[in-house]
Amino acid sequence: MPTAEEIQLFFQNTLNNIEMSYEESGVDKITEDVREEEIWICMQDKVRLRAKLYKPAGFQTLPLILQRTCYPHNEPIYQAHAKELAKRGFAFLFEYCRGTGGSEGIWEPNVNDRLDGLDTLNWLEKQDWVECIGYWGDSYLAFTGWVMADILTPKVRSLCLANYGTNRYVSAYEKQLFRHDVLTSWAMGNAGYEVTADFLESCKYRPQVLVDEALWGRRLEWYRQWITNTKKEDAYWQQGFWRMLEDIPSKVKLPVYLSEGWFDHHLGSALHTWECLSEEAKAHSWFDIGPLNHFGQNSITSYQPQNMKRGKCLPFLYWFELTLKQKELPERSVHLYVVGEDQWREISEWPCPDTQKQTLYLGGEDRRQIAEVPGVDNSYSYVYDPENPVPSRGAEAMLHTMEEIGSRLQPEPDYRKDVISFLSDTLEKDIRIFGKTTIHLFVSTDAEDTAFTAKLMEVTSCGDAYNIRSSITTIAADSDHYRPNTITEVCINMWDIAWTIKKGSRLRVDISSSDFPQYAIHSNYPGAWSCCAQTKNASQVIYVGNRTPSRIELDVLL
């Protein structure tokens, strides 16, 4: 974790970059006279929420940009944006969710934000000086926009929502294994009280369902709900609040600007959200995906990108200039940064319609081969010990372990006894991955249930390997009533990417059974991962060849 000095330096650099970005935006200031006011907005249940309002002086009516947040430590950043926006003719209001930042009430993540947001909009509707409203936020601040996006009031004209998606199961799980580094760390940091327990010790605690009382000091019912409802089919995800949130994009009528990063832990959910957006909204919406992590930082280390940002500085500012001030409906726009080309590409839609499947097979004469046709039948075995998990090195679904977020330099092939590496020959032409990657494995294990992981990499001409995508699956997620020591096929689904693997490079795939702390450690026992109190070793076998064609399937650009 960053030190206090590193955090302070980060904030100072952020504030400096905010000021510089507005100066370089090309949107001129219209005043230096900005008025600041603290206000309290009363909810229907009489709970009052604290808010800060910034307005340029001398205007009868103004377009207003609204944010709702639960992160009081970021107030200097909100203030910096507020002042710069006010100088350019916008009013800016940021409001703290109940129980945070001085707002009254009890903090409980997610639960109150729909009605509190609507009450806030209804209050703004009554303010004569509010001409129109745009909602802006990223991460949890984007959630507070999405959760009311289907019940917006008449003055709301557009939404700008970054680094969040409405499919909460996708954000929380991959094939029944929890995204520890994202949501366990978030729970510890947003419990509503200080949690001083060690993060990795917390993730390893068994049974995990008791970690709150055992290490964190009190029971967190909402965290227990997250970690015990491990299947997408569970009522917790298919009914009630999370089902409602997942369905909201299909009901949205207004233009939405979605912004994401290829190595943001919300990307998978955000891609699903874009696909589900109503056609009425999508016709006038923007979707950008850059080479960034959740914090807006470069996540590509194989080279130094020169074109990280698309077009002008502060694209959200142009979005609100267009939709609030000029009152125009934008034309649909999908822009993607292509890793390996250091270029942005505009396409008609995502998923991209101009792709086809390319299949490559694991195996060949030895386990280092990735080939266009299956090789001879063969198998490779290893022992998976849950007490000695493979550490996450470079990943797309991480939040706490910041040094491992993104595409990172990887260890040598077969760097552990429980990691099986496959490599291709040198590529004779570029491979342009433009969508999903799926890895099908034929496997067996002596456990009733276990996990398998895969990591796809580009090996450059100088021999350095960098991760492109990684993911995990469980026997239980892919096979009903598995019998130990029988061969079954499992499917490892990876998030979308736009990545050109250059001629002269090679492909590499590492197969193992753990990726910690990106994902929860599988105990090798059946049942919900969070309820298992003990672990045992599992003997894993990977099968390749004509009869068991373990393979990679890539969406490649024509």
SS (H, E, C) 39-81: EEEECCCCCEEEEEEEEECCCCCEEEEEEEECCHHHHHHHHHH
* Rg of the Cα atoms in the chain: 24
Q: Which amino acid type is present at position 360?
A: L
Whether residue 270 is contained in a domain is answered as yes
> In the chain, helix, strand, coil percent, each to 5?
25, 30, 40
Whether residue 240 is contained in a domain is answered as no
**220 closest CA partner among 198, 240, 192, 243:** 192
Contact 271, 287 (CB under 8 A): no
* pLDDT at residue 2 in the model: 62
Q: Do residue 224 and residue 287 come from a single domain?
A: no
Neighbours of 32 (CB within 10 A): 10
Q: In CATH, what number is assigned to the domain containing residue 75? A: 3.40.50.1820
Query: Token digits for 32?
Result: 């230096």
Q: Do residue 399 and residue 547 come from a single domain?
A: yes
Alpha helices in 126-230 (DSSP H): 140-146, 168-172, 185-189, 199-204, 211, 221-228
| Number of structural domains in the chain | 3
* pLDDT at residue 312 in the model: 64
Which residues of the chain are under the pLDDT cut of 70? 1-2, 6, 311-312, 364-367
Partners of 445 in the β-ladder: 540
Whether residue 237 is contained in a domain is answered as no
Question: Structural domain of residue 449, as residue ranges?
Answer: 355-557
Name the pTM for this structure. 0.95
What DSSP string runs through 202-270? HHH-SSGGGHIIIIISS--HHHHHHHH--STTSHHHHSHHHHHHHHGGGG--S-EEEEEEEE-TTHHHH
* pLDDT at residue 172 in the model: 98
d(CA 212, CA 202): 9
User: For residue 246, what are the contacts with CB-CB under 8 A and spacing of at least 6?
Assistant: 166, 167, 168, 237, 276
Q: In CATH, what number is assigned to the domain containing residue 431? A: 2.60.120.260
pLDDT in tens, 125-153: 999 999 999 999 999 999 999 999 999 99
d(CA 149, CA 178): 27
d(CA 331, CA 346): 13
Q: Do residue 400 and residue 497 come from a single domain?
A: yes
Q: Do residue 192 and residue 259 come from a single domain?
A: no
